[in-house]
Amino acid sequence: MTETFYDVLRRQGITRRSFLKFCSLTATSLGLGSAAAPKIAYALENKPRTPVIWLHGLECTCCSESFIRSAHPLTKDVVLSMLSLDYDDTLMAAAGHQAEAIIEEVKKKYKGNYILAVEGNPPLNEDGMFCIHGGRPFVEILKETAADAKAIISWGSCASWGCVQAAKPNPS
Ligand code: SF4
């Protein structure tokens, strides 16, 4: 089961009192009034953190290299506390069929409610054969995963406009 924000905060040693103080301050600083504090607390206690699937197409992977070296916030805090990074084949321990099964599980369990982050691009020449993901063209995986995503983030130049893989005379 995906942890809630509250579970993560408690695991990190934040007291219930500090948590409620945080909810009150958040409600006030957003201009929502004190009546919103219990609603914020309820949401943080009950809603699972947003699951993220992070796919990799053709790329040099330096976008990930930049990400894992970030300091404000630290990558560990983003991955373990703020989001639920459920799939990233560069960072995760699972591989092969075990990793593929995680994508399917997130798609099914959080249909319409997960974020898809894409680093790298899906090459389109030769029916996408220049980038194979789990035995299939990456473009197919990307389309299937994008279909039920809540939001899609194109991470870096490769994902946004093709970068070196789209430059002539690259065949991909
Ligand atoms: S946009 Fe592409 S080439 Fe540039 S750092 Fe990211 S993965 Fe590497």
Which domains, and CATH codes, for the chain? Answer: 5-46 (no CATH), 51-166 (3.40.50.700)
Ligand 1 atom closest to the CA of 160, numbered from 1:
1
169 Cα: distance to centroid of ligand 1 (angstroms): 18
Q: Residue 26, class by beta-carbon neighbours within 10 Å (0-12 exposed, 13-18 middle, 19+ buried)?
A: middle
Task: Check residue 2 and give its pLDDT.
Answer: 66
Kindly give the confidence (pLDDT) of every residue in the chain, 172 residues in length, as a single tens digit, with 9 standing for 90 and above. Answer: 567 889 888 888 999 999 999 999 999 999 998 899 999 999 999 988 889 999 999 999 999 999 888 888 888 778 777 788 899 988 888 889 999 999 999 999 999 999 999 999 999 999 999 999 989 999 999 999 999 999 999 999 999 999 999 999 999 9
Distance 128 CA to ligand 1 centre (A): 19
